[in-house]
Amino acid sequence: MRANLLLMACLLGAALQARTAELVVMVDSTANMPMARVENGRLVDGLHKEIGEILARHMGRQVRFVMLPRKRLEHALQGGEADLLCAYMPEWLTGDYLWSRVVFTTEEVLVTDTRGPPVHAIAELRGQPVGTILGYLHPEMDALLGKDFVRDNAPNMESNMEKLMRGRVRHILITRVVLDYYQRIRQQPLAIYPPLSVMSFATRCAVSRKGHVALEEIDQAIGQALKDGSLASMLTRLH
């Protein structure tokens, strides 16, 4: 009997140790490339996958991805269903999180198709529909345009670009890394004016206060990944 209890205790200890050796990364299941490619509910490619794998490798952990739709991410992360959510900014999320050091820096740009006049300043967009993604915040546009910021929401960026291509909207907001990726892989690149910079931003990881990984460990892994160039080479491959 005593031997059985000892065996059970050892097995339980091993299971708990295996759990704490994981890095659980939350990913928006509605995201598109280059951020994420999801097949049959599994994350198979993209920036979120590479960031998770890079950080887990530097932390000596096994990575596990939790896929949830955008509207459920914040509640789940606050509840400790994952350790972190990367490539975000504090302004984009509500709730109480710890925030890591910068993972990578990119730029949000306004893209306008060439079937009409170009846009030279954000103020020219007052009252004009701008393609955005449902659930994503754009505080810089709100600050510049206020109630005259007219959003035309789409479920994801591919839908946004499809609306632009078909002339349903003339403008969309998009990050530079995503725009560069799609212009490179599309058989027929979007016919657009040179993008207008809206803001530059530094993305970080939102770290759950109820997760199993300390912020210091995540920051150390990011620092190592920046030093050895693995994060920089990731962005180069996706461009």
- What's the pTM value of the predicted model, to 2 decimals? 0.78
The number of CA neighbours under 13 Å toward the Cβ of 41 is: 1
Alpha-carbon gap, residue 12 to 189, rounded angstroms: 55
pLDDT tens, N- to C-terminus, the chain (239 residues): 554 544 454 444 444 444 559 999 999 988 888 999 988 889 999 999 999 999 999 999 999 999 998 889 999 999 999 999 999 989 888 889 999 999 999 899 999 999 999 999 999 999 999 999 987 888 889 999 999 999 999 988 889 999 999 999 999 999 998 999 989 888 888 999 999 999 998 999 999 999 999 999 999 999 999 999 999 888 776 65
Dihedral angle over CA of 187, 189, 190, 195, nearest 10: 150
